[in-house]
Amino acid sequence: MKTWKKCWVIEMSGKTLLSVLAGMSLALGTAPAAGPATRQQPSNPFERGATRMMERIPPECLLSETNNPVLCPLVEKWEDLSIELQRCPTIRSNHTVNIAVHIIRKAPGRPVLVFIHGILADYLMWEYVAAALADDYEIWLVDLPGCGDSDAPKPSALEPDGYSLTAMGERVWQALRQCLAADGGEAPRRLTLVGHSLGSSVIIRMLSAPALQSRYAPEMQRVDRAVLFAPCDLAINAVPPSFLTLLGLKGGMVAIGKCLGLFDAKVRDLTKRSFQDPPFATLERQQRYEHALSHFEHREAAKAMLLQAVPFALKTGRPQWEEIDFLVDDYANISAPVLIVYGMRDETLSAAMGNKLKDEISGAVLVKVPRRGHALPTEYPLVCTELIQRFQLDRTPTELAAGLGVKVYSATAMLRPNPLLTTTAAPVLQTTSPVPGP
């Protein structure tokens, strides 16, 4: 009896931990639709989420991205690009994982933009932004372990922290080292790191973890700046109200739901809820979510990423603050200029996190985008592109905001000022121009 109770406590605690870390999800982050008022819902949040996933909703179809006047030209340009796939073997704790880097060499000799995606995504989430920037920069699109064309080992086949932010950051550094060695250019290539959601948190660890700074100093010295879309502050202390539905799914439930025509319908509904601007909830976006959720290896890798993102006690479901404090203290180690961007209607990760991160990362500048949510690169690609370009060109906060209808919060003075960024503290700047098209 004691053994059974112990197993039950561990299982329930693990599920609670997943719910606490669910805010690290890519962009499906809205509360699931409520079922009929007369239906008695299971008490466990994951069981409840999985049950709701199976509830029938009215059938309909999302429009293709080719029907969107903003996205269609970007899609056409993306399809015309020549993309080279480089698979880079990375080793950590004697475990080898091949990391896929998709390289667009349309602008050789130019600075390199390195893009890192979030949960339940792959390099294709950057197609709109990459297409818009390919004329001016070389583009490297990284697939994290367990995603896209990278290897997706079972979490149990890796070291205990094999899907942690630090582990994934180390593998990305190894992949970038190989790409830089294979580049063959005469002048050292300069890098700008760009991330979304979990990918932004990986970049934070890449630039702040002392062990990674020591092992990958030559590569880190090539980093000019970082742009972080909707990063998660590692000091999580509350349960985000998102993503419980999909993380509660089991393989058998997905198979049954597909046979009954319920799975696709529910993912379609959740895709719609992920975007503040409905035309950007496209059929292709739905299909990519379905692909990630339908494949066991990708689904399990995503769960492992959430479990290992932030230290939590399994038995109590509470944050392990001593370990978290060490991670947060490492923010001060970041020396490259950082731009943080949040949608003010982000329902996955509160935009308030941006204020804390800006104050704790020396020299960081914060941008808040009105009327937009978590899926900024796929819902507002042209504004994201413009922000990347302006920050890449060292624009002032005033120039950064001009004409975009965004709010910019200048760098906060720190006890350890960033020598690479001399912008002084200034009041909030807000343009009066209307928000342009995405």
- Say which CATH class 84-237+317-430 falls into: alpha beta
This prediction's pTM: 0.81
CB neighbourhood size of 355 (10 A): 17
Residue 306 has a pLDDT of 85
- 430, β-bridge pairs: 407
Contact (CB, 8 A) for 27 and 274: yes
Residue 105 has a pLDDT of 87
CB neighbourhood size of 321 (10 A): 13
- 83, β-bridge pairs: 104
Nearest residue to 92 (alpha-carbon basis) of 159, 180, 165: 159
List the pLDDT tens digit at each of the 438 positions of the chain: 444 444 444 444 444 434 433 433 333 333 333 334 444 444 544 445 445 544 544 457 899 999 999 999 999 999 999 999 999 999 999 999 999 999 998 877 789 999 999 998 999 999 999 999 999 999 999 999 999 999 999 999 999 999 999 999 999 999 999 999 987 665 788 999 999 999 999 999 999 999 999 999 999 999 999 999 999 999 876 555 555 555 566 667 677 777 766 778 888 888 888 899 999 999 999 999 888 888 899 989 998 898 888 887 767 778 889 999 999 999 999 999 999 999 999 988 889 999 999 999 999 999 999 999 999 999 999 999 999 999 999 999 889 999 999 999 988 754 444 444 444 433 444 443 444 455
DSSP 230-299: SPPPS---S--SSSHHHHT--HHHHHHHHHHT-HHHHHHHHHHHT-SSGGGS-HHHHHHHHHHHHSHHHH
Contact (CB, 8 A) for 212 and 170: yes
For residue 277, give both structure tokens.
């601007």
Domain boundary assignment for the chain: 2-29+43-66+239-309, 84-237+317-430
For residue 92, give both structure tokens.
């950590």
Residue 29 has a pLDDT of 38
Classify burial at 3, counting beta carbons within 10 Å of its beta carbon; exposed 0-12, middle 13-18, buried 19 or more.
Answer: exposed
Residue 6 has a pLDDT of 47
| Cα Dmax for the chain | 70
